[in-house]
């Protein structure tokens, strides 16, 4: 129960931070926000003073400070994000549209990383210090040093430009998933494998693991009953923390491969100074993190009831 309360407080402060940050962004934009928004709406060639004034009047861009802030936060907590300054559509509708695309990409990446990383890590952890263990360490260290955008760049150059196997960008067909999902998954898998390896090596060294083998269980049974369950808890907890890394990767990768998701929308919104969109997407990402971690807390407590705090 205390877990949920602390997560609730975290969610509340996240909302406050996002509200304050986006308000500051709205207020202190360099240049005239009205001009920028008008340019975003009508195109840079069609902006004139009249259009900018119309936008200024419509959005109430000048006025007293504190009242505007309170109204801003009030709207935020009533989950009224307003309309996108650029497209004129309600922010909620836009986000709902984009969230799906991002969610599928993120799930594909996490799934892929879980297929690649932990099995290799567990294999290495069963024989710590072996050649395989050392090789995995070298490979995962090198992979960790490759940022996700660089991984995407390398995959695009090798798989699409040179070999022509996959489309470099695009959305809609299953094969469009492969490249961005791999670009995200390889970095995650490098860390997953290390976590699984350390946890597994720790479990193998425990007396209960030796005992289980000694009492006559087969290696597979010991691994299944005593190994995997103990490895899954640190892995799961780490997965929650990786969520932020994943979201960051999604923001960048989506922009590179033209994925119509929330990260792509966020970069565009920041670029066009579409503050309501920035607020909506930022809030969605922050609250998503808190929610995922609350679920993982609960799940971890279910798998390993000893550590219930």
Partner 1 sequence: MTAISLPRALPAGRTLGAAILAIVAVFALLGPVFVPGDPFAQSLMKSLAGPEPAAPFGYDHLGRSLWHRLAHALRLSPLIALAAVATAGAAGLVLGTLAALRGGWTERALVVLADALLALPGLLLVLIVLAIMPGTATGFWAGLSLVLWVEFFRLTRATARATLASPAAQAGRLLGFGWPYIFRTHLWPEIAPLMLTAAAFGTATAIMGIAALGFVSVGMRAPTPELGLMMVELLPYWREAPMALLTPVLATFALLLGLTLLAGGHRT
State the residues that interact with partner 1 by CB under 8 A.
9-10, 13-14, 16-18, 21-22, 24-25, 28-30, 128-129, 133-134, 137-138, 141-142, 144-150, 153-154, 157, 161, 194, 198, 201-202, 204-205, 244, 247-248, 251-252, 255-256, 266-267, 270-271, 273, 278, 282, 285-287, 289-290, 293
Q: Smallest distance, Å, CB 199 to partner 1?
A: 11
Residue among 46 and 141 whose Cβ is closer to partner 1: 141
Q: Smallest distance, Å, CB 281 to partner 1?
A: 8
Residue among 191 and 212 whose Cβ is closer to partner 1: 191
Calculate the CA 225 to chain-centre distance.
Answer: 32
Residue among 65 and 173 whose Cβ is closer to partner 1: 65
SS3 83: strand
CA dihedral 204, 210, 215, 219 (to 10 degrees): 30
Q: Smallest distance, Å, CB 273 to partner 1?
A: 7
Q: At which residue do the structure tokens 């369950």 appear? A: 229
**Dihedral sign, Cα of residue 173, residue 175, residue 180, residue 184:** positive
Residue among 174 and 276 whose Cβ is closer to partner 1: 276
Residue among 48 and 271 whose Cβ is closer to partner 1: 271
Q: Smallest distance, Å, CB 267 to partner 1?
A: 6
Residue among 15 and 185 whose Cβ is closer to partner 1: 15
Question: How far is CA 46 from each of CA 42, 51, 57, 270, 272, rounded to the nearest angstrom?
Answer: 6, 9, 18, 21, 16
Q: By the 8 A CB rule, do 3 and 298 touch?
A: yes
Tally of CB atoms within 10 A around 118: 24
Alpha-carbon distance of 279 to 267, in angstroms, equals 12
Residue among 25 and 83 whose Cβ is closer to partner 1: 25
Q: Smallest distance, Å, CB 69 to partner 1?
A: 15
Q: Is 28 exposed, middle or buried (0-12, 13-18, 19+ CB in 10 A)?
A: exposed
- Helices 91-126 and 131-144 pack at an angle, to 10 degrees, of 150
Residue among 161 and 163 whose Cβ is closer to partner 1: 161
Q: Smallest distance, Å, CB 147 to partner 1?
A: 4
The total number of residues shown for the chain amounts to 309
Calculate the CA 39 to chain-centre distance.
Answer: 30
Q: Smallest distance, Å, CB 243 to partner 1?
A: 9
Residue among 21 and 49 whose Cβ is closer to partner 1: 21
CA 303-294-178 angle, to 5 degrees, is 85
Q: By the 8 A CB rule, do 280 and 288 touch?
A: no
Return all residues near 53 (Cβ < 8 A) that are at least 6 apart: 34
Q: Smallest distance, Å, CB 27 to partner 1?
A: 9
SS3 53: helix
Q: Smallest distance, Å, CB 50 to partner 1?
A: 26
């Amino acid at each position: 129960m205390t877990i949920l309360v602390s997560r609730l407080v975290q969610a509340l402060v996240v909302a406050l931070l996002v509200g304050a940050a986006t308000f500051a962004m709205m207020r202190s934009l360099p240049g005239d926000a009205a001009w920028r928004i008008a340019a975003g709406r009508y195109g840079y060639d069609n902006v004139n003073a009249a259009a900018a004034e119309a936008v200024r009047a419509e959005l109430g861009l000048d006025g007293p400070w504190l009242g505007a802030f309170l109204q801003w936060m009030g709207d935020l907590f009533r989950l009224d994000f307003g309309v996108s300054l650029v497209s004129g559509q309600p922010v909620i509708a836009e986000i709902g549209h984009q969230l799906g695309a991002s969610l599928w990409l993120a799930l594909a990446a996490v799934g892929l990383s879980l297929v690649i990383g932990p099995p290799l890590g567990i294999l290495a952890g069963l024989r710590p210090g072996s050649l395989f263990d050392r090789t995995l360490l070298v490979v995962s260290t090198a992979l960790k040093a490759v940022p996700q955008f660089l991984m995407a760049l390398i995959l695009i150059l090798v798989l699409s430009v040179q070999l022509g196997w996959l489309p470099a960008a695009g959305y809609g067909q299953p094969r469009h998933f492969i490249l961005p999902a791999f670009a995200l998954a390889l970095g995650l898998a490098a860390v997953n494998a290390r976590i699984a390896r350390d946890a597994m090596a720790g479990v193998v060294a425990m007396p209960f693991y030796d005992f289980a083998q000694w009492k006559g269980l087969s290696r597979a049974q010991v691994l299944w009953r005593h190994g995997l369950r103990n490895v899954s808890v640190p892995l799961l907890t780490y997965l929650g923390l990786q969520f932020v890394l994943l979201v960051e990767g999604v923001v960048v990768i989506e922009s590179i491969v033209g994925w119509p998701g929330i990260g792509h929308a966020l970069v565009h919104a920041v670029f066009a100074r579409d503050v309501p969109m920035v607020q909506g997407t930022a809030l969605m990402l922050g609250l998503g993190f808190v929610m995922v971690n609350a679920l993982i807390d609960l799940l971890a407590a279910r798998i390993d009831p000893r550590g219930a705090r």
